Amino acid sequence: ACGRLRLGEFCRRRLGLDGAPVGAGDWLAAGQRLHGLGEREAALAAFEAGADLEPGNAEAWMAVATLRAELDRPEAALAAAQRALALAPAHPGAWLNLGLLWRIAGDFEKASACVDQALAVEPALPAALLTHGQIFAARQQLDLAAEAFAACLDSDPAHFGAAFGLADVALARGDFA
């Protein structure tokens, strides 16, 4: 409680609030603003405060997972992502988030299975299609990577990550002189 009081005062001063955050929504909003200001540790603490106050909030746990991953805390990030997924099993973002964390951990099988689940819920989700392409490329499955990157571009023609992914596949294949 004492730590949350200090964090609340920090948020009040840093964000120019009239008072310290009170409810879970206030803490999550403060975390988003702090993250935008580059205050990642404080943002994580705010997200964790929101998740503690409302433990059934999958979005709060996804925010916690994302910040823990950014701060290079992969085991803690995986735990938070799995908690979010337990709360929202049909949420494509929760599946994708977990897949990204498994990809970072180097477990491409689990990463691919999670991305498959995200795509089962939302088949044209550009971020999931991009992640599939990246997983296939990392496994040297270049044809599948190219298909995933192309599907991402079909879904979002302006997606630079997919365009670069296709270029990387072309280079790996030796398609460019």
pLDDT in tens, 19-42: 778 888 999 999 999 999 999 999
Q: What is the pLDDT of residues 46-83, one digit of tens each?
A: 999 999 999 999 999 999 998 998 898 988 998 999 99
E strand or H helix at 40: helix 40-53
Rounded Cα distance, 62 and 72, in Å: 15
Q: Give the DSSP letter of residue 55.
A: T
**Torsion angles phi and psi, residue 52, rounded to 5:** -65, -40
pTM of the model: 0.76
5-17 pLDDT, tens per residue? 788 888 778 888 8
Residue 125 pLDDT exceeds 70: yes
pLDDT at position 74 is: 86
Is the pLDDT at 1 greater than 80, yes or no?
no
